[in-house]
Each structure stands twice: as structure tokens, then as C-alpha cells.
Copies of this chain bind each other. A is one copy, B any other.
């Protein structure tokens, strides 16, 4: 079951560059795991923004919320989710 998410990141002023770098390392590892498990079907940077569009392939809304709230940067993210259905014109 597919969902499109837009995730915007905004760090609070009090975080140090080291703390931010630490978040980015953990985020990369977490994202890799989601891609290997197939739960994240794709992730792209939105040009010019500290934001991404991602595709998720999960079995339920609960699983998607668990995946999203597990991102290390989740407390600093604003996420909007759009549920997707099969399109009649899709060949896949």
C-alpha cells in the first residue's frame, strides 16, 4: 500500500553542528534500513529545500506512523502524508 510523504526539517537554534551531524548519521542509517526492508520505496531531495518527497510501501496506517515517528529527526520534522491507490493507467 503506497503513501507519498513530504518531510520538511527545521532544527531549533540551540542544537550544535555536532548534534546536527549526529542526527544526520543516524537518519542515514535509519533510511537505509527502511529501503532494505522495502518500506521506503524511494526518497528524493526537493531542490533548494531542506525537505524530501518519499514513497512508502506499508501494510497499514499504523505501520506507516511507526515508521515515520521512528525517524531520528522526527521531532524536528513537519510531515504531510497522502494515501495513494493504484492508478488505472499504471502498467505496474
Closest to A88 in B: B28
Residues of B within 8 A of A28 (CB): 88-89
Interface SS majority for chain A: mixed
Give the one of A28, A64, A68, A89 with max B CB within 10 A. A89
Contact A85-B45, Cβ < 8 Å, known A2-B61, A12-B13, A61-B1: yes
Closest to A89 in B: B31
For the A-B complex with A36-B91, A46-B83, A48-B68 known, give 19 more contacts whose Cβ atoms are closer than 8 Å: A1-B60, A2-B61, A4-B44, A31-B90, A32-B89, A35-B92, A42-B90, A43-B87, A43-B89, A43-B90, A46-B84, A46-B85, A47-B84, A48-B64, A48-B81, A49-B80, A61-B85, A65-B85, A83-B83
